Structure 1
């Protein structure tokens, strides 16, 4: 029986996939995004071990509601591809019982998503943190190339993609870089939408509780004008945004 390290679960409606979602947060992430709202999911050791059966019993409590609401299950984190065997086993069980599945990932570990994992995934929520290589490195501590390679592979396989882009003033609001990302996304036939997500500070209390400085505590949230400008750049390339 596959086991994994999980942080928590919740119900949501919005950018975690179509309809109402049972969202499972796994523990562990290789990136350290400066705007991360879930620093409590960074380390595997901080999660608790759970079996697929245990998680499925929890999902079953909401099955009728999820089905009626046109929703399903989204696996996020942390980074679900850090635990590919557990993620695959859970997605397989969800599909066997008729539930829509989504995986929310940075794509940084996309090489770990084998064909079986992807076969049981209906929708990929792909977080592209920045499109400028140097900015991506400073913002996340990782490399952009694996994410772009993963996006290209998903498109080649015909997998449905929603792109997620967090708009952070002074970091991801450079319109030239946004144009570059818009051009890249426009070339992916299976991208259905781009969610431009305004940066927020809702995770501040978590940093305080963990005794970790929040790197962007003095960064403002983007105003409606800036958010509109960024969305317009995608619209100009024929990309649907939310």
Structure 2
């Protein structure tokens, strides 16, 4: 459901406004819900790239990159080329202003969604390809994640240097590394995602709600149960 108030104010939407409306659209389409993990501004490639929205759902990781009327497309080709290596499926969400140029820039595997005056339209569904390269998942883990993964597989760790642990993880089954990485990402963002869905609670998300998705806003949150505090501790341990 699209906010009628925003539609009346203006027809040009900022990235944050489109992001909020995209979340509402995905929820309405059944592609996103409270049991999924929603991440805002997810960094990859040694923090060189940052996907606008990432969804962890059914042990898959999907990305949504937004290009509003106020954005340029200078970085889009580089972003798209990286995203297909890191995410099982990627969508670019853009406006009529950029639609044709974006369509020309994107690889065939990336989906394309056009946002126009409060309405989303799939122009290209794209293709899903599960990421399987160990080095990609290793780059998405912290040193602590690597240490825990090795310990869980009873592999002795003689050195805590990241490079040395990466070499050991390279010897593990790629499916095992994938599953552990997605689990660790989910744990890191579980608190902020739950907080977001609790806040909107069947209402439309607004642009200001996006800030709730930051995993670093914990000092402003009141926890009402032991389980919520335990979730916070788990998340902090994985940062």
TM score, norm. by length of structure 1: 0.30
Specify the structure having the higher radius of gyration (Cα): 2
TM score, norm. by length of structure 2: 0.31
| More contact order relative to length (CA 8 Å, sep ≥ 6) | 2
Q: Which has the higher helix share?
A: 2
Q: Which has the higher strand share?
A: 1
